[in-house]
Structure formats: C-alpha cells, structure tokens
C-alpha cells in the first residue's frame, strides 16, 4: 500500500513521546522509556497522550507539503493516523546524539496495523527538547 508523504510524517511522529526525566537520571534511559510510553499510547489509541509528546510549537516537516505546526494541528493528524488503524512501530536507529537538553535521533521507522502487518516505513530525523521536565518532540523531519 503506497502512502502519501503526509501520512508517513504523521505515522513517524506518533512513534515519538516524552517521559518525565528526574534529576540525575540517564537521558538515554528516559529516552528509551519515552519510546515504550509511545508504544502504549499508540496501542491504546490514546490521542491525548500522543499529542502531549510535542512542544507547544512543534513542527513536522516533510517534502512538498505544508508543515504541521503546533499541538492543534498535531491532534488532527494523530486522530487521522489512529483512524487508519496504526497500532505499533519499530525503530531501526542510525544515529542518536544526546545533549544536555536536546536529543537528535535518525533512522527508519516501521509502522504496523492492528493485526501486526507492516503498514508503512519512512526515514526520519527527530529533534527532542526538554520542556516542562519532559522530553518532547520539537522538530520532526521525514522523507
């Protein structure tokens, strides 16, 4: 099944979530927990949790389409993705840069439908930023 670029972007953004990071905690550990939390939200079709993964001014960018900007637009996209039946993902990570208040991740994301069949795959680069004590997606670029 061929998917539009916007659908791939939306699917990719679904995979990324935030976790409360306590003082003295390993940011990579919190980042890995963020992915587990996102998997739960996606499996449970929890749009509120999916939207909370983004900064207020998050931007999702993809080729030849208008950017998706802010939580209101992200909410509409998450509702659309959930309506498609997407309920899982797997990351094949190429690179992970960890800074004090930023994480940049790149690789391939593979999405699965309710029956576990592959639905879509996309290359991505995502910029995470600490916001209100949580890792949240600030910028997401998908091809």
Strands 134-142 and 54-61: parallel
Mean pLDDT over the full length of the chain: 84
Kind and range of the H or E run holding 62: none
> What pLDDT is stored for residue 105 in this prediction?
96
State how far the Cα of 135 lies from the Cα of 35, in Å rounded to an integer. 11
Comparing CA positions, the residue from 119, 130, 99 lying closest to residue 15 is 119
CB 8 within 8 A of CB 110: no
pTM for this model (two decimals): 0.78
Of 76 and 3, the structure prediction assigns the larger pLDDT to: 76
Give the least confident one: 1-5, 108-112, 129-133.
1-5
> What pLDDT is stored for residue 28 in this prediction?
86
> What pLDDT is stored for residue 6 in this prediction?
54
Write the pLDDT tens digit of every residue in 72-88.
999 999 999 999 999 99
State how far the Cα of 93 lies from the Cα of 71, in Å rounded to an integer. 26
CB 110 within 8 A of CB 13: no
Given 3.10.450.50, 3.40.50.150, 3.30.379.10, 2.60.15.10, which CATH number is that of 5-142? Answer: 3.10.450.50
Give the least confident one: 28-37, 40-49, 78-87, 96-105.
28-37
């Amino acid at each position: 099944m061929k998917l539009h670029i916007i659908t791939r972007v939306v699917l990719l953004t679904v995979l990324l979530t935030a976790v409360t990071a306590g003082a003295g905690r390993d940011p990579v550990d919190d980042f890995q927990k963020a992915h587990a939390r996102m998997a739960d939200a996606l499996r449970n079709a929890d749009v509120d949790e999916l939207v909370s993964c983004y900064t207020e001014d998050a931007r999702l960018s993809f080729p030849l389409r208008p950017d998706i900007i802010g939580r209101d637009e992200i909410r509409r996209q998450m509702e659309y993705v959930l309506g498609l039946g997407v309920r899982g993902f797997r990351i094949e990570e190429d690179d992970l840069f960890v800074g004090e208040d930023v994480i940049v991740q790149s690789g391939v994301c593979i999405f699965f439908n309710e029956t576990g069949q592959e639905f879509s795959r996309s290359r991505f680069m995502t910029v995470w930023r600490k916001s209100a004590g949580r890792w949240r997606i600030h910028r997401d670029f998908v091809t």
